[in-house]
Structure 1
Amino acid sequence: MKVKLLALFSVLLAVFTLAACSSDVGSEEETTEIDFYFPVAVGGDVANMVDDMVADFEGENPDIKVNALYGGSYSETMTQVMAAVQGGNPPELAVLFSIDLFTLLENDVIEEMTPLFDEAYLDDFYDAFMANSKVGDKVWSLPFQRSTIVLYYNKDAFAEAGLDPEAPPETWEELVDYGKKLTVNGGQDQWGLEIPSTGYQYWMFQALALQTEDNIMSEDGKETYFDAPYAKESMEYWLDLSQEHKIMPEGTIEWATVPSDFLSERTAMMYHTTGNLTNVKDNAEFDFGVSFLPANNQYGSPTGGGNIYLFKDVPEKNKEAAIKFMKFLTEPERVAQWSIDTGYIATRKSAYETDKLKQYVEEFPPALVAREQLEHADSELATYQSGEVQKIFNDAIQSILTGGSTVEEGLAKAQKEAEEVLEPFQE
């Protein structure tokens, strides 16, 4: 009898074990995995912030696993994403430059988002950011970590130079005047100003062009205006800041070192992305201010930063999971917290109605400067073959700033080369 009972028990145990195993297999099959590439282009601990958001999402959605893949810089992330696409394994989502839109459309690798979200949701994003997110009436990406260029200035240095710490320069002329007073010992102890001239020099140039007259490309991404009269005036001014006025180092100024120079008081003012605001706030050992970029004929700054793209050729359940994650990342409360944590502008108007962001900007008014500057903002340089066109223009700017060519020669050469690249896209 004992033998029979033992045999029966063994059979039942085997059945329960098999059932448990089947249940485990089923639960694994029900989990949807999506890949999410993202870059980091500012100081601070952005990668860990992304990991925290992913953990929160997975806590709310245990049936979805998000593989958050840090890709490095924007260009490095784009390279990895396109390699995955061409290898037949596209990610579901990626944060890439908003200006990568035309390249992604040219390669036919992204999904249109207009049918995926209701009109009220899309209308809640700021128009200045949507300008780089859509073509005509079709939306192709969602604004995520977006910015404008702002002027950071050291209030303590202002006071030491006899300048009003609450009155930053408002015009190009004032910027030069202030810069001369803030430059100490020919720049050996402190420069008056630093504008980065590597990585995103075309972006800095756009600010000067917009302040003078207009943008440097057409909305359809098929034309550039690198040698327009207002572009030449803008380039001459940038060059004069170091060559004639001597308020800024000559030659190349690295993108990544400018915030470090500002924090270590090697420069009293800097042009940089608002995406560095929280980094400066957390690490500056002096009182600092943030303001609009000084105006020439008008205020102006290009928008910048990254958007979220949804890729084609992924399973339907993965696409649904990706849409769910996009909605999660762009909820007003989360957008508000992301702005607080990084310094990027909250991309949705409703985010500024949340209690947390209302309280934050009341306690830290500089957080509103970049958003208010959106009134004077225009699209970042976006064209077909954008990587090639950007390199052409970046090389021209560096050549001019380092004495390799004159303003006239450098801009004319850049325009000619850009026209040749864009010729196949002309109607």
Structure 2
Amino acid sequence: MTQMTRRAALVAGAGLLATPALVRAQTVRELTFYYPIAIGGPVPRIIDGYCEAFQRETGIKVNPVYAGNYGETLTKAVTAIRGGAGPHFSVLLAAELHSLRDMDILTPFEEIEGAGDLDAWTRGFFPAFMANSKAGGKTWSVPFQRSTAVYFYNKDWFRAAGLDPEAPPRTWAQLVEAGRRLTQDGKWGVKMSSSAGNGQWTFGAMANQAGHKLMNDAGTETYFTDPRAVEAAQFWRSLAFEHRITPQGSIEWGVLAPDFLNQTTAMIWSTTGNLTNMRTNARFNFGVAGLPGKDAPRTVVGGGNLYIFKNASPAERAAALRFARFVAAPEMAADWCMKTGYLATRPEAWETESLRRYTSEFPAALVAKDQIPVATGELSTFENQRVYKALNDNLQAMLSGGKSAQQAMADTQAEATRVLRPFRG
């Protein structure tokens, strides 16, 4: 067992002592854990290692099931639960909170035996990450695989284009100027994804960059026709049709990292979850920066939370919560951050000796943490996938030249209004 795992286990073990005797007496031998694999790299091996460490400390075997991307994992989990053989807990998009509540498949953490001082524990997470965790006065999930959108840029390419590699774009105007100088010889200045399942994340960041939030906290209303949302859409469209620094049409999420590593694009808007991938595989000098905004950097949070399902027995729910506490322990969260690039979700993890040493050697790892104060929550509504589809379909039509920004936003709002009408009381 590594020193990191031993220290994390001590923290996790403290939570076990608070578990009521009745629950402790109920033997839980195994748990099933659905986990989304949405990026490259050694993530399954890391998760396997955490599950093995948890078993050594608690005697409970956690069986991870790698179920595809976030959307596929959601579909598989819901199908299995409704078929009577579902997972006990899962990592799913934090933004699915309202839709999952509506499905009535979640257990609020307050109702799990042995939860202990839940308020004190949840207050220890960054508030921006808890924005998609609580609703109706209850805690429905806790942050785990969380990120902010950042951009990676090729410092060597910047230098060759006469740009300062230590002064990446901070505003939309600066992004356009840099993109014009970097787009040449069939290579693009910047790329960001508009594909199904990802376009809403990119657009959520752009809306925030224009000073706008796309939905209300209750998840019952959307605001796509607000002038600031239209302005964000117009800016995105202009990158392809007016400034010509990004391709027209839809760009798949999966091509961003390879295109950057193969040096066919100078900048990509991506996730901190790709940080370790870039550090390991880039054969050139690269930088990491907060997404440029209309006037100053602004971004969006994203990624997955740990949800516990009501189909689990009371003892299984308590055991799943033990696992959630185990991976949130400071040393474990720090380890996760260093191995993947995802953010350690609790400030105390950033004060550990291991993460302090890591960030002193690799300052790029601090970029995402430092921009949390200017991040907004990801688009999250009831019937989330239907609203996402409406937005992504219209974004792709807009970026392919089939619709203006105004029409794309109007059509998205019309469909979102129709979908959300039953939830507005």
1:293 maps to which of 286, 291, 306? 291
Give the CA deviation at 1:43: 2.2
Give the CA deviation at 1:108: 1.3
Correspondence for 1:261: 259
Runs of 4+ in 1 over 4 A off after TM superposition: none
Question: In structure 1, the residue corresponding to 2:265 is in which secondary structure?
Answer: coil
Question: Aligned pair in 2 of structure 1 residues 212, 31: CA closer, same or farther (>3 Å)?
Answer: closer
Correspondence for 1:122: 122
Give the CA deviation at 1:298: 4.1
1:79 aligns with 2:49: no
Mean alpha-carbon deviation: is it higher for 176-185 or for 295-304? 295-304
Correspondence for 2:416: 418
1:107 aligns with 2:113: no
Question: In structure 2, the residue corresponding to 1:256 is in which secondary structure?
Answer: helix
Question: In structure 1, the residue corresponding to 2:62 is in which secondary structure?
Answer: strand
Rg (Cα) greater in structure: 1
Mean alpha-carbon deviation: is it higher for 258-267 or for 311-320? 311-320
Correspondence for 1:365: 363
1:46 aligns with 2:43: yes
> Mind listing any 5+ residue stretches in structure 2 that lack a counterpart?
1-25
Give the CA deviation at 1:31: 5.5
Equivalenced residues, count: 395
1:384 aligns with 2:382: yes
2:188 maps to which of 186, 191, 196? 191
Correspondence for 1:175: 175
Mean alpha-carbon deviation: is it higher for 295-304 or for 227-236? 295-304
Correspondence for 2:157: 157
Cα distance in 2, alignment partners of residues 319 and 89 from structure 1: 15
2:399 maps to which of 382, 398, 401? 401
Deviations 1:351-371 (A, max 9, x none): 101111000111000101011
1:55 aligns with 2:52: yes
Cα distance in 1, alignment partners of residues 41 and 242 from structure 2: 35
Give the CA deviation at 1:197: 1.3
What is the one-letter code of the residue matched to 1:207? A
What is the one-letter code of the residue matched to 1:208? M
Question: In structure 2, the residue corresponding to 1:193 is in which secondary structure?
Answer: strand
Indicate if the aligned counterparts of 2:172 and 2:294 stay in contact, CA closer than 8 A. Answer: yes
Correspondence for 1:270: 268
Indicate if the aligned counterparts of 1:57 and 1:328 stay in contact, CA closer than 8 A. Answer: yes
Correspondence for 2:279: 281
Question: In structure 2, the residue corresponding to 1:76 is in which secondary structure?
Answer: helix
Question: In structure 1, the residue corresponding to 2:188 is in which secondary structure?
Answer: coil
Give the CA deviation at 1:321: 1.8
Question: In structure 1, the residue corresponding to 2:358 is in which secondary structure?
Answer: helix
Correspondence for 2:238: 240
What is the one-letter code of the residue matched to 2:171? T
Give the CA deviation at 1:89: 2.4
2:372 maps to which of 367, 374, 378? 374
Give the CA deviation at 1:65: 1.4
Indicate if the aligned counterparts of 2:172 and 2:295 stay in contact, CA closer than 8 A. Answer: no
Question: In structure 1, the residue corresponding to 2:169 is in which secondary structure?
Answer: coil
Deviations 1:203-254 (A, max 9, x none): 1011111011211111110001112111111111111111111111111111
Correspondence for 1:230: 228
Indicate if the aligned counterparts of 1:103 and 1:386 stay in contact, CA closer than 8 A. Answer: yes
Question: In structure 2, the residue corresponding to 1:99 is in which secondary structure?
Answer: helix
Sequence identity, in percent? 44
Indicate if the aligned counterparts of 2:205 and 2:376 stay in contact, CA closer than 8 A. Answer: no
What is the one-letter code of the residue matched to 1:256? G
Indicate if the aligned counterparts of 1:212 and 1:298 stay in contact, CA closer than 8 A. Answer: no
Query: Once superposed, what is the RMSD of the aligned Cα atoms?
Result: 1.3
Correspondence for 1:337: 335
Cα distance in 1, alignment partners of residues 28 and 248 from structure 2: 56
Deviations 1:28-66 (A, max 9, x none): x9561111001022221111111111111112222x111
Question: Aligned pair in 2 of structure 1 residues 354, 250: CA closer, same or farther (>3 Å)?
Answer: same
Cα distance in 2, alignment partners of residues 239 and 51 from structure 1: 42
Give the CA deviation at 1:145: 0.5
Cα distance in 1, alignment partners of residues 176 and 116 from structure 2: 47
1:96 aligns with 2:89: no
Cα distance in 2, alignment partners of residues 31 and 374 from structure 1: 38
Deviations 1:129-167 (A, max 9, x none): 000001143211010000111011110001111111111
Cα distance in 2, alignment partners of residues 298 and 366 from structure 1: 19
Indicate if the aligned counterparts of 2:52 and 2:61 stay in contact, CA closer than 8 A. Answer: no
Indicate if the aligned counterparts of 2:170 and 2:296 stay in contact, CA closer than 8 A. Answer: no
Deviations 1:285-326 (A, max 9, x none): 011111111120343211100000011132222222212211
> Mind listing any 5+ residue stretches in structure 1 that lack a counterpart?
1-28
